[in-house]
A and B are shown apart, each in its own frame.
Chain A
Amino acid sequence: AQKVTQAQTEISVVEKEDVTLDCVYETRDTTYYLFWYKQPPSGELVFLIRRNSFDEQNEISGRYSWNFQKSTSSFNFTITASQVVDSAVYFCALSGHSNTGNQFYFGTGTSLTVIP
């Protein structure tokens, strides 16, 4: 079965603290892609990052960093020095190709609140 689990339902941090959002996935595909999206209160999902299953190189982009580990099927996301504008729901997603075509799976999201 293909599945994305975000065990953290809600997280609150004080501004300037670092915060890590966890994502664990399950898939039988050998080729797949992982994504992080942000959904602010306005409702529109905003793309943050994509990683393919062959690229375990971790990345830092400004205050954001990602840790992809195939051995533990995890794709965690860290915000350094959090800001109030980071308050949103963050979704981890998995995409792959099955015998019924393309499939996309989102986790249930982690609601992040950054307190000023």
Chain B
Amino acid sequence: ETGVTQSPTHLIKTRGQQVTLRCSSQSGHNTVSWYQQALGQGPQFIFQYYREEENGRGNFPPRFSGLQFPNYSSELNVNALELDDSALYLCASSPAVAPPYNEQFFGPGTRLTVL
């Protein structure tokens, strides 16, 4: 069984640019959540997708957007990057039962650095 995978592993961008991060959910999982984890902090919930629809959103501005595809993989897009967007971005998938009641299985993350 393949776990959650994310790409790329590391990324360096400059302020004002746009970035797309990708996530493949674990087999059989139809729910994907994205988190931002700043250094020394806990993960902050960005949003969740359930069967291709946004199913919850944290306190992040609209320049953070996402997509979920029919195969349940997902993208996180961030426009107009700011220095504070530098963080580890984690993707998590949950089994095919209604969230938020399930444990989430996390990928290894994408480390984004904004210069």
Kindly identify, within residues 32 to 62 of chain B, every residue whose CB is under 8 Å from any CB belonging to chain A. 33, 35, 41-45, 48, 50, 54-58
When A91-B42, A104-B33, A106-B43 are in contact, do A47 and B100 touch as well, CB less than 8 Å?
Answer: no
Residue of B99, B100, B105 contacting most chain A CB atoms (<10 Å): B100
**Cα of A93 to Cα of B108 in the assembled complex, Å:** 18
Which of A56-64, A66-74, A75-83, A94-102 is the interface stretch?
Answer: A94-102
Q: Is the CB of B108 within 8 A of A42?
A: yes
Q: Is the CB of B108 within 8 A of A101?
A: no
Q: Which residues of B contact A52 (CB under 8 A)?
A: 101
Q: Which residue of B lies closest to A111 (CB)?
A: B40
* Interface residue? B90 (CB, 8 A): yes
Q: Which residues of A contact B90 (CB under 8 A)?
A: 45
* Interface residue? A50 (CB, 8 A): yes
Question: Would you call the interface of chain A mostly helix, strand, loop, or mixed?
Answer: strand
Q: Which residues of B contact A104 (CB under 8 A)?
A: 33, 35, 45, 48, 56, 58, 100, 104
* Interface residue? B84 (CB, 8 A): no
B103 to chain A, nearest CB (A): 5
Q: Which of A47, A98, A102, A108 contacts B42 (CB 8 A)?
A: A108
Q: Residues 4-16 of chain A: 1 if any B CB is under 8 Å from the residue's CB, otherwise 0?
A: 1010000000000
Q: 7 closest pairs, A vs B, by CB?
A: A101-B56, A102-B56, A106-B42, A102-B100, A95-B100, A45-B106, A104-B45
Give 16 A-B pairs besides A103-B56, A105-B45 with Cβ atoms closer than 8 angstroms.
A35-B104, A43-B88, A44-B109, A47-B103, A50-B102, A52-B101, A91-B43, A95-B101, A96-B100, A101-B55, A102-B56, A103-B58, A106-B45, A108-B42, A109-B41, A109-B42
28 A-B residue pairs with Cβ-Cβ distance under 8 Å, sorted by A, are A4-B42, A33-B100, A43-B108, A44-B106, A44-B107, A44-B109, A47-B103, A47-B106, A52-B101, A91-B43, A95-B99, A96-B100, A97-B100, A100-B56, A101-B56, A102-B48, A102-B50, A102-B55, A102-B99, A103-B56, A104-B35, A104-B45, A104-B48, A104-B100, A104-B104, A105-B45, A106-B43, A108-B41
B interface residues (Cβ-Cβ under 8 A, vs A): 33, 35, 41-45, 48, 50, 54-58, 88, 90, 92, 99-109
